[in-house]
Amino acid sequence: MTDILRLFGPLVLWLASFSAIYGLHGAICAQGWDRSLLVMAWGIAVAVQAAPLLLLSTERFGARAGFVRRASLALAIVSLVAVIWTLAPAAFLSACV
């Protein structure tokens, strides 16, 4: 069971971050709040997404099996890149229409 969490945990965190940032983007556009909240939320999302990568690379939290270890680290890296790449436009571009 924990190997499944190691594999899907980073992806679930990316999904939650994606939903939260774009939901916050809609609220900021609708309410006229300060857009610096989005940049701050993006930074928090990147830091939270980096945590699984750091944890999965340790002996204590990383998988023992070779394939699961490599796959979970690869998915953690891909999820971190996805957070940076997909959420940066919402955080840094003003697209309230």
Q: Residue 9: CB partners within 8 Å, gap ≥ 6?
A: 52
- The model scores a pTM over 0.85: yes
pLDDT category at 93 given cuts 50, 70, 90 is confident
In the prediction, which pLDDT does 94 show? 72
- List Cβ<8 Å contacts ≥24 apart for 73-81: 75/7, 75/8, 75/10, 75/11, 76/10, 76/52, 77/53, 78/10, 79/10, 79/11, 79/13, 79/14, 79/49, 79/52, 80/10, 80/46, 80/49, 80/50, 80/53
**Total structural domains within the chain:** 1
**Structural domain for 60, as ranges:** 2-92
Within a domain: residue 44? yes
In the prediction, which pLDDT does 1 show? 54
Question: For 2-32, what is each residue's pLDDT tens digit?
Answer: 889 989 999 999 999 999 999 999 999 899 8
Within a domain: residue 97? no
